[in-house]
């Protein structure tokens, strides 16, 4: 008891006894020691941030471009490459390099629930996905950027362009991708609709796999190249503005496209002679596979397939057409299972590496065993920073593609998006990455978007199709992205970057105000975990949908700890 309090209590006791007539007070109680103040308690401190996923290739000669990926600090990430890469920034701005939550990657192993209900930092998150019917997106309440101008986006799909247009005309949809060329005139004449074209930065091609006979023979592949009347394809099945393809890359890809280099002309008799030299004087039977999905490069699917069948028959190649579901088709082609197939490509970013590195260096088995001289030429061009020297190197690349004929380039197709005239913020992108967040309709909270096919998963890191990226681009962010409707790169999850003189060290400073849709803060570990999950074949997070991670392999070469072939 404190001394002052003790004295006061003693006096009160004396007074009480006097008042009660007691003359002898009890012996006083010795005062106790004043209590000592308790030791101050320390508030629990948050765990100090630390890098968790930093990875370095122990042997730089393992075959891939990446040497290391590291979180330098909580908001700094550094990529170190084994070779120069002047296109590194646009590569990682592409959808397959969307950044995931490290927490969710660990919890799912990069598969399972993350394929359908992922956590992103983008403007939208998944409300529901009714497989085979629709995908509904709603604004992400934790989005770091400007909130979407609508409150809900419903994505639906139909393989028939005519059916999509009917919905748009009926008012049950607000936008549709890839209008049929047959409908362009009617759309442009309808004041309730607006058609916004994209440039023809794409390619339709007929692919051949050299592990399937008779396509192991170069003369056979060259004969196929001579069999096709490409102008007939463009005149009959593509909209105005489309062009025949003389090379795999369209003319807009510079450096990359080689001015003046022409493909084989149509020559039926020369094609027959080559087949005879190759041991097929009577031609041969083959199955040609394709997917019934309208794309910018493939506007009238069944008619195009029948045209290929008809033209090849003129040199004795008897074609049986095989229609496949989109996901199954892409997986089969990638696995090298289809001897001949109709496919195409749309520009992902503005560099030649997007066209030739992915297709012809062995990222997948589409065309079979890669051609070593072509692979070497592609790698040399990809690592050259000087534009003039790169252009010279791509002359060799394009000449070797023509020589080996892994595929026959047919057409660069013009295409368009159609919107209701009521949609504000309507736009078309040369990169096919239109953004729903800027779209709105007065008096309506919802946007209904129609596309050609259903997304395969919502894990774009391990997908290759535009329908998937259409959705994932709304849910996720990459380190850099594009100004709406343009090919101009702008900061996204990264605020800035620095690169060394040899283009082998790329360091990114990250935003500090970002959260995933579940409220988890974003930092450098999420970036490193995302890339390591793709890069390291032994990572516990390296699962995905197919486990192939084609784009990573196509852009950055071999995988770390990949099993021996």
Would you give the DSSP letter of residue 462? G
Look at the domain 202-412 and name its fold.
Answer: Dipeptide-binding Protein; domain 3 (3.10.105)
| Dist. CA 329–CA 295, nearest whole Å | 15
Coil, helix or strand at residue 230: helix
At 425, list the tokens. 């913020």
Neighbour count for residue 500 (Cβ, 10 Å):
11
| Dist. CA 366–CA 207, nearest whole Å | 8
Q: What is the DSSP string of 155-173?
A: EEE-S-HHHHHHHHHHTS-
Q: What confidence tens digit (pLDDT) does each residue in 464-501 have?
A: 999 999 999 999 999 999 999 999 999 999 999 999 99
At 249, list the tokens. 């890359």
Does residue 17 surpass a pLDDT of 50? no
At 146, list the tokens. 């400007």
* pTM (predicted TM-score): 0.85
Q: What confidence tens digit (pLDDT) does each residue in 254-289 have?
A: 999 999 999 999 999 999 999 999 999 999 999 999
277-300 burial string, b = 16+ CB within 10 Å, else e? Answer: ebebeebeebebbbbbbbbbbbbb
Query: What is the β-pairing status of strands 317-324 and 284-291?
Result: parallel
Q: What confidence tens digit (pLDDT) does each residue in 496-544 have?
A: 999 999 999 999 999 999 999 999 999 999 999 999 999 999 999 999 9
Average per-residue pLDDT in the chain?
91
At 541, list the tokens. 């997070």
Q: What confidence tens digit (pLDDT) does each residue in 113-154 have?
A: 999 999 999 999 999 999 999 999 999 999 999 999 999 999
Name the residue among 360, 341, 357 with its Cα closest to residue 349: 357
State mean pLDDT over 353-376: 94
Neighbour count for residue 530 (Cβ, 10 Å):
25
Name the residue among 139, 135, 107 with its Cα closest to residue 121: 139
Domains of the chain by residue range: 1-35, 48-121+476-565, 202-412
Handedness of CA 6, 12, 15, 16 (dihedral sign): negative
Q: Backbone dihedral region of 446: left (phi > 0), alpha (psi from -120 to 50 degrees) or beta?
A: beta
Would you give the DSSP letter of residue 86? T
């Amino acid at each position: 008891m404190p001394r002052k309090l003790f004295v006061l209590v003693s006096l009160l006791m004396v007074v009480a006894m006097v008042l009660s007539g007691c003359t002898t007070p009890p012996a006083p109680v010795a005062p106790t020691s004043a209590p000592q103040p308790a030791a101050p308690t320390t508030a629990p401190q948050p765990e100090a941030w630390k890098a968790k996923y930093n990875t370095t290739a122990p042997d730089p000669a393992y075959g891939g471009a990446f040497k290391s990926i590291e979180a330098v600090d909580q908001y700094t990430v550094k990529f170190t490459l084994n070779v120069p890469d002047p296109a590194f920034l646009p590569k990682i701005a592409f959808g397959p390099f969307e950044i995931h939550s490290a927490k969710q990657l660990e919890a799912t192993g990069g598969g399972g629930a993350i394929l359908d209900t992922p956590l992103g930092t983008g403007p939208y998150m998944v409300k529901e996905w009714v497989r085979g019917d629709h995908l509904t997106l709603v604004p992400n309440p934790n989005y770091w950027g400007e909130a979407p101008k609508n409150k809900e986006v419903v994505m639906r799909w139909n393989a028939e362009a005519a059916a999509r247009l009917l919905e748009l005309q009926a008012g049950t949809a607000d936008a549709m991708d890839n209008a049929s060329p047959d409908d362009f005139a009617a759309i442009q004449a309808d004041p309730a609709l607006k058609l916004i074209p994209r440039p023809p930065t794409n390619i339709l091609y007929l692919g051949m796999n050299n592990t399937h006979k008779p396509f192991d023979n170069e003369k056979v592949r060259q004969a196929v190249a001579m069999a096709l009347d490409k102008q007939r394809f463009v005149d009959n099945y593509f909209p105005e503005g489309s062009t025949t393809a003389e090379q795999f890359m369209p003319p807009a890809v510079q450096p990359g496209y080689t001015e003046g280099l022409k493909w084989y002309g149509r020559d039926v008799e020369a094609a027959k002679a080559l087949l005879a030299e190759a041991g097929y004087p009577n031609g041969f039977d083959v199955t040609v596979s394709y997917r019934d999905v309208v794309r910018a490069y493939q506007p009238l699917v069944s008619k195009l397939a029948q045209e290929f069948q008809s033209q090849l028959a003129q040199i004795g190649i008897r074609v049986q057409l095989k229609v496949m579901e989109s996901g199954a088709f892409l997986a089969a082609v990638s696995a090298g299972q289809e001897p001949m197939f109709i496919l195409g490509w749309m520009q992902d970013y503005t560099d030649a590496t997007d066209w030739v590195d992915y297709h012809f260096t062995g990222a997948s088995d589409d065309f079979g065993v890669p051609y070593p001289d072509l692979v070497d030429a592609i790698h040399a061009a990809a690592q050259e920073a000087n534009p003039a020297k790169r252009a010279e190197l791509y002359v060799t690349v394009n000449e070797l593609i023509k020589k080996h004929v892994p595929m026959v380039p047919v057409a660069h197709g013009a295409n368009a998006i159609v919107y209701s005239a009521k949609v504000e913020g309507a736009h078309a992108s040369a990169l096919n990455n239109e953004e729903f967040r800027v779209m709105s309709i007065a008096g309506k909270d919802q946007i209904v978007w129609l596309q050609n096919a259903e997304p395969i998963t919502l894990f774009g890191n391990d997908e290759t199709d535009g329908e998937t990226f259409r959705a994932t681009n709304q849910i996720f962010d990459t380190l850099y992205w594009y100004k709406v409707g343009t090919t101009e790169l702008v900061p996204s999850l990264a605020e800035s970057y620095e690169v060394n003189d040899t283009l082998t060290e790329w360091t990114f400073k990250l935003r500090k105000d970002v959260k995933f849709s579940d409220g988890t803060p974003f930092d450098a570990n999420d970036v490193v975990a995302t890339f390591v999950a793709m890069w390291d074949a032994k990572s516990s997070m390296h699962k995905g949908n197919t486990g192939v991670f084609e784009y990573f392999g196509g852009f950055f070469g071999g995988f770390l700890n990949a099993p021996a072939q």
